Amino acid sequence: MKPIATTRSATGIPTGRLAVWWVLASEVVIFGGLLGSYVMHRLGHPEWGAAAAHTNTWIGAFNTFVLLTSSLTAVLAHQAAERGDGKKAAKLLMFTMLGALIFVSVKSFEWTMEIREGFTITANGFWSFYYTAAGLHAAHVIAGAVIMGFIAHDAWRGRELQRVELIGIYWHFVDVVWIFLFPLLYIAK
């Protein structure tokens, strides 16, 4: 049973959504600190460009496409949940999770190739930032997909439909982070 407090909404924003926004605010500064540090180093070390040239733009672009598409299915799931169609929302969330699976699989393939070539996390500063930033992002993808599984399970049974929107907002944020990681790690060479 939820406390009375949870059902109140003095701001007019539902409690869950308000909390998700604050989660995102705290995530922005985590990624902001990491990417800010990376950009500083990158601008100060033009020689890192040569290391960045070894990244595979096509794989990065494909993963961007996967995440953009999974964002579309997440927002369509939200739309379905708004209409009260839990089954459709759950199905669309499954598609989003599929996107996450493809993303992570492609990423592990990509990393395996790079590590084989000797570009390990200790190879130089660029690769350290590359693996740390992309790894932190991938951890968010995996965590989001797991939570999404529970929410899809509930949504299928028509329970807690408002949570479809919440995981969606989080998922779009993960997408936005990747939208910035893609040019930072893959395009700028």
Task: Check residue 121 for interaction with other proteins (CB under 8 A).
Answer: yes
Task: Check residue 146 for interaction with other proteins (CB under 8 A).
Answer: no
Q: How far is the CB of 157 from other proteins (least distance, A)?
A: 20
Task: Check residue 143 for interaction with other proteins (CB under 8 A).
Answer: no
Of 141 and 175, the one with the shorter C-beta distance to other proteins is: 175
Paired tokens of 85: 């169609």
Instruction: Give me the residue label for tokens 């919440």.
Output: 166
Options 56, 61, 105, 159; binder of other proteins; rule CB under 8 A:
61
Q: Whole-angstrom Cα distance, residue 68 to residue 65?
A: 5
Other residues' Cβ atoms within 10 Å of the Cβ of residue 77: 30
Task: Check residue 176 for interaction with other proteins (CB under 8 A).
Answer: yes
Give how many residues touch other proteins by CB under 8 A: 83
What residues from 80 to 109 belong to the interface with other proteins (CB under 8 A)?
Answer: 82
Helix residue ranges, H only, the chain:
4-7, 15-44, 48-52, 57-82, 86-116, 125-156, 162-181
Of 21 and 109, the one with the shorter C-beta distance to other proteins is: 21
Packing angle of the helix pair 86-116, 57-82 (nearest 10 deg): 170
Task: Check residue 66 for interaction with other proteins (CB under 8 A).
Answer: no
Task: Check residue 142 for interaction with other proteins (CB under 8 A).
Answer: no
Task: Check residue 132 for interaction with other proteins (CB under 8 A).
Answer: yes
Q: How far is the CB of 50 from other proteins (least distance, A)?
A: 4
Paired tokens of 158: 């028509």
Question: In terms of Cα–Cα distance, which of 125, 132, 146, 124 is closest to 31?
Answer: 132
The three-point CA angle 108-176-114 to 5° equals: 25
Q: Which stretch binds other proteins (CB under 8 A): 21-29, 100-108, 143-151, 152-160?
A: 21-29
Task: Check residue 22 for interaction with other proteins (CB under 8 A).
Answer: yes
Task: Check residue 162 for interaction with other proteins (CB under 8 A).
Answer: no
Q: Whole-angstrom Cα distance, residue 143 to residue 138?
A: 9
Task: Check residue 113 for interaction with other proteins (CB under 8 A).
Answer: no
